[in-house]
Amino acid sequence: MPSRRLSVAPMLDWTDRHYRYFARQISRHTWLYTEMVTTGALLYGDVERHLRFDEAEHPVALQLGGSEPSELAQCARLAQQWGYDEVNLNVGCPSERVQKGAFGACLMAEPQLVADCVKAMRDVVDIDVTVKHRIGIDQIEHYDYLAGFVDQVAAAGCSTFIVHARNAILKGLSPKENREIPPLKYDYVYRLKQERPELEILINGGVKTNAEIAEHLRHVDGVMVGREAYHNPWLMAEWDAAFYGDDSTAVSRQQVVDAMLPYIRARLAEGHKLRNIARHILGLFQGMPGARQWRRMLSDAKLLDGADEGLLLQALAAMPSRLSVTE
């Protein structure tokens, strides 16, 4: 199993199975995470819809949202049964809707409850149980708060922490504003790793370039990239060689498109809609000649209606230079 040196963050409505399959065609080693799935959705909803994934997605982790230890334990067991490589507890989402469910970032105020949740999951599974969290909540901004939270949860058996290097403001800011307004404090995460070398510490928040990734890796064990990996997925094309020492997996954009064709064909046969897959690959040519045409065709409702995987080939053919897709 590759290390968690690089991973793509769990993002609601974005990192579904279609995006993850697409991302896996670009990087073979990067860890991929599901959207957050609530315990209620698994215990009382359609388990297959939430947990089904393609074997090509490995290594892949399931992120859970919840705060009841026994329910999280049941869902962690499901994660292992379905073949996930890791189960991750969300202690970072600041949305009011999530807070009403008594989970997400508000759990940082209850480290013992988080510890109980971790222990309950670890008691029933063999796969890794990890926690993704912020550095603090509201006006609590001192480093000792972060360190104390991590120590209490680590005592329950968690050894991997994914730290979004911002506070979560629980009232008054939208989820988008919570990703932008609270200042990034990377030094808190660096210090956490320096003082707790036995823990695996991953950093998250505001990472946009491979140069930034390389700098972070001088201080922590791994880097989790969020929206940049979604909007500009070709950023991941260098990751295997640059950060995993494996240049054998390098592919061209053309090869990525070719790999998506049989996948799309199979999903359409199952009743999925092309638009629900195509929306994740709009950024494949970002910054290149023809990118706008590619996005336009794959987001055109009329073209998508009733279309099959051949629309991708049509979009490629419409680009101004075929040379661009071989890079």
Separation in Å, CA 287 to CA 7, 20, 29, 235, 325: 23, 22, 25, 11, 12
Round to whole Å and give the CA distance between 203 and 260. Answer: 30
Hey, what domains does the chain have and what are their CATH numbers?
A: 6-242 (3.20.20.70), 253-318 (1.20.120.1460)
pLDDT in tens, 61-95: 999 999 999 999 999 999 999 999 999 999 988 77
Round to whole Å and give the CA distance between 263 and 310. Answer: 12
The pTM score is 0.95
pLDDT in tens, 160-204: 999 999 999 988 888 888 888 899 999 999 999 999 999 999 999
Question: Is a pLDDT exceeding 60 seen at residue 109?
Answer: yes
Average pLDDT over residues 295-324: 88
Question: Is a pLDDT exceeding 50 seen at residue 323?
Answer: no
197 is in an annotated binding site: no
Phi, psi (rounded to 5 degrees) for 160: -125, 125
| Position with higher pLDDT, 320 vs 265 | 265
Work out the widest C-alpha separation in the chain, in whole angstroms: 58
63 is in an annotated binding site: yes
pLDDT in tens, 288-308: 988 999 999 999 999 999 999
Q: Which of 75, 93, 106, 158 is catalytic?
A: 93
92 is in an annotated binding site: no
Q: How many CB atoms lie within 10 A of CB 129?
A: 27
Judge whether 93 counts as a catalytic residue: yes
65 is in an annotated binding site: no
